Chain A
Amino acid sequence: MIVLRRVNKSFDGGGSYAVRDLSLEVSTGETLVLLGSSGCGKSTTLKLINRLVEPSSGSLEIDGRDILHHDPVQLRRSIGYVFQGIGLFPHLTIRQNVEVVPRLLGWPPSRRRDRAMELMEMIGLLPDDYAERFPDELSGGEQQRVGVARALAGDPAYLLMDEPFGALDALTRDTLQQELLSLKSRLHKTIVFVTHDIFEALTLSDRIAILHAGAMEQIGTKEEILGRPATPFVRDLFAKPAQQLTAFREML
């Protein structure tokens, strides 16, 4: 379980806040989607959880322990992270990319290798074909699959995903979303997923937290949010795509 209590983050010494007075809980096995437009503080929130960014005030706990008491390096190794820019290591093969965290954790080479092969099969990139390729030989969708495999390699209980499919075309994005859903049901990870895409949020979430200007507007299941939007902002947020969908259907 991840708990944030009244967390604030300012990058300019209090002039403005990227995250303002944010409190939320992510229960074990749950997928929480942080939804909001760019600059709303959702990526910062994600980075606060694995200490890529330190809070200005407030506290964060993982499994009941304040994360400031964790060594940040150890903490990050125990949390899977899928980056917005994918960020595969271009000088390493696909297998070596997937093996990075096990290597940092000091696993013996044979165990690392087995784990990498297992994950590559799971994400549908056959090791025989892909293991010794380099990232720039893969398509964008394949690269982000590797990004997911790399995040899962150390078998972390938590997975943080920062707009992982944002840069992919619509078809690939849809495929990867479906794959993530099936992974989720098999692996029982606790996932915090950041996106600005409302449909993605609706597809993947157990609960959604809507952020605006660093503060939380509403948190709840999609039924709760769609049924009882807590603020005008939330209502408008979902109203616009609904109008677009109607217009689209009429065109068809």
Chain B
Amino acid sequence: MEESWLEFVAARLPELWLRTREHLMLTAVSTSLAIAIGIPLGIVARSRPGLRAPLLGAIGVVQTVPSLAMLALLLALLDRIGAVPAVAALTLYALLPIARNTLTGLQGVPEEVREASRGLGMTVRQQLLMVDLPLAAPVIIAGIRTAAVVGVGVATLSAFIGAGGLGQFINRGLSLSNTRLIVLGAVPAALLALLVDFTIAAAQWGMRPSRRTEAGPILPRLRPVAVALPFLLFAAGIVPQMSPPATAGDGERTSAPTIRIASKNFTEQVLLGEIMAQLLETRTSLRVERRFNLGGTMICHRALTSGEIDLYAEYTGTGLTAILQRPPMSDPGDVLRIVREEYRREFDARWLPPLGFNNTYAITVRRGAAGREGWRTVSDLAPRAASLTAGWTAEFSERPDGYPGLIEAYEYRFGTTLDVDPALMYQAIHRGQVDVIAAFSTDGRIAAYDLQPLVDDRRFFPPYEAAPVVRLDTLEAHPEIEETLSRLAGRLDNETMQSLNYEVDHRKRRPGEVAREFLLSQDLL
């Protein structure tokens, strides 16, 4: 039974509070950094006209990099996930409005006022601090307002690289096709943007000198309060992050070692993450930190190799082709052997025994169309391919074991290809917006939407057996992880995985709950 909206929100209130604070922290820190960098840049741009064009040009180019690409880029550059690359990306975005408005504001200082400040004997520094900046302040603050409000928006994307914030709900909602979760992230984010905008506007009002003509004794007294508002909001974002977590009830639990489990951003991954997390929490003394819904294979892999997470569930075929960049192979045993050897050698990580199912890509069409056209295998599509529209996920479009390899193996192309979100592609084909998708064979929605996976008759797709991948140093420090997670070996066959996915995707149940039921049914808890 679905819970009511009120229950839904009430149950997530503590997390909502946490995510809001994280969101505030990301925005506040990045906006402050951008102020600290952007205002000096604007000042330099005014005093050195030669530098102006290249400087603003460079910042402008940065601004045009799409937000997700920027996050991915900084992730690669800084080689870590979480708040640091997120703050770096947000700072870069906030730079342009602040630097440009600083320049515009300074250029707007009337020439006769500038001449007066110089002629009366102010040093360059005094001209800037006593005259130019105060006069440019309204324009500069308008830039800060723009930057902060945009920052609140872009910060929702930070969840893709594990930086938390309200985007976490949106991400989770997208990967679980759960509209309520999306709303739970989006609405507070919008409110937060309004709040940020309001406080800065209030501060701007508060900084304006009081005029004699302004009647009433109350208004002038409110000005300092108004100026303090954004700083209070900033403090609200920062301070609780630095104090120890409020949940630290008994000392024993806090001192227990913590391991970090990640997942990619789709249902099955979240479920596997939950299953592994709950098993470890029950059967060992380890604490688990969940860093779920990271934005894709490369992000999880990078987080693993840089030591920011300890383990996540990966698929052998993905490890072989996407990570190790090897050509696709069809024998499951060979694939597992190669990824085991290479991960140990290259990444100091270990593949534990596979969980039992093979979540391969399945070229999938509507069941009705398959019946009508007599499609049974992927080869059968060849004659009609030019008139068909395929919907691929971003990863499938690029991976060697995705569309590029498919073209070579089957020697045909589809007439049109669209990029679709993994969470939305089943709906897209169901509604006829696309004719072909590369479904995940363990997805419960294949059955739910009456779809027909086609046989991979040229044996192009490598096996994608799911298995936990763990850092070697984590295994050395906590040998019980290997023993515990090995209990899952072979327990999840394709049908089981499909039904677990279906519970979450279609019946909108919580992954934690579904994972727990599964573990109980296997007598693992």
Contact = CB atoms under 8 A, between A and B. Distances in A.
Contact of B113 (A77, A87, A104, A132): A87
Given A85-B112, A85-B115, A89-B113, A77 B134 contact: no
Interface string B95-134: 0000000000000001111011111111100100011001
Q: Tell me whether chain B's interface is mostly helix, strand or loop, or mixed.
A: helix
A7 to B, nearest CB: 19
A125 B113 CA distance: 22
A90 B114 CA distance: 11
Contacts of B111: 85
A134 B115 contact: no
Nearest to A132: B212
A83 B111 CA distance: 11
B107 to A, nearest CB: 16
Given A73-B121, A101-B121, A137-B213, A91 B134 contact: yes
Contact of A50 (B112, B119, B134, B212): B119
A3 B309 CA distance: 78
A212 interface: no
Contacts of A101: 120-121
Contacts of A76: 118-121
Interface residues of B, number: 22
Given A81-B120, A101-B120, A104-B121, A87 B115 contact: yes
B211 interface: yes
Contacts of B119: 50, 52, 76, 81, 83, 87
A74 B209 contact: no
B120 A100 contact: yes
B135 interface: yes
A84 interface: yes
B110 to A, nearest CB: 8
A88 interface: yes
A101 B118 CA distance: 11
Given A133-B212, A137-B213, A52 B126 contact: no
B112 A84 contact: yes
B215 to A, nearest CB: 15
Nearest to B109: A90
Among B110, B120, B134, residue most surrounded by chain A Cβ atoms (within 10 Å): B120
Nearest to B119: A81
A134 B135 CA distance: 14
A122 to B, nearest CB: 19
A73 B116 contact: no
Contacts of B118: 52, 76
13 contacts: A52-B119, A73-B122, A74-B121, A81-B120, A83-B119, A85-B111, A85-B112, A86-B116, A87-B116, A89-B116, A89-B131, A91-B134, A137-B212
Given A73-B123, A76-B119, A91-B135, 9 more contacts: A76-B118, A83-B115, A86-B112, A88-B113, A89-B116, A89-B130, A90-B135, A91-B209, A137-B212
Which 3 residue pairs of A and B lie closest in terms of their CB atoms, listed nearest first?
A85-B112, A87-B116, A77-B121
Interface of A: 50, 52, 73-78, 81, 83-91, 93, 100-101, 104, 132-134, 137, 150
